[in-house]
Structure 1
Amino acid sequence: MKILYFAWLRTEIGKSSEDISLPAGIQTVNDLLNWLPERGNNYAQALQKRDLLRIAINQDYADLDQKIHDSDEVAIFPPVTGG
């Protein structure tokens, strides 16, 4: 799975993307967001305000209960505003 981090998430985590193999038991977006903070303090800090996060799977917005697979691209980003 490729995970992309945008805006302040990229800064907090210290990388813009990474490739991972999903651990056993990680089946949904929510599972992924529960697991990522276990990877280190930078992840825990960046992902602590989950109500501010938006998720896209393969460039389509996703809900927390959406299933994920090793072949997916998951983007995690804050709300986007424009003007």
Structure 2
Amino acid sequence: IEEANWLTLTDDISHLIGDGFDAVICLGNSFAHMPDNFGDQREQKRALRNFEQCVKPGGLLLIDHRNYDNIIKIGKTDVHCIYYN
């Protein structure tokens, strides 16, 4: 198990990946709090490319992303789940 340094999530880390990982997990709604220093989401896009490069073929990428605005608005989470492959 490896833990990424959040300070380098937006850097090009392709030289550090090695053989990759069976799973890359981003929990705690942390992806939604990444800085957008340029206003065009380039840092988030770089982080997603890094996640993709880190996952071995057939591996799992899990990103926990909660819509807190909606939770506050309706008082609960949505009742449906959406899964992507």
Same fold (TM > 0.5): no
Query: TM-score, normalization: structure 2?
Result: 0.25
Identify the structure with bigger relative contact order (alpha carbons < 8 Å, sequence gap 6+).
1
Q: Which has the higher strand share?
A: 1
Query: TM-score, normalization: structure 1?
Result: 0.26
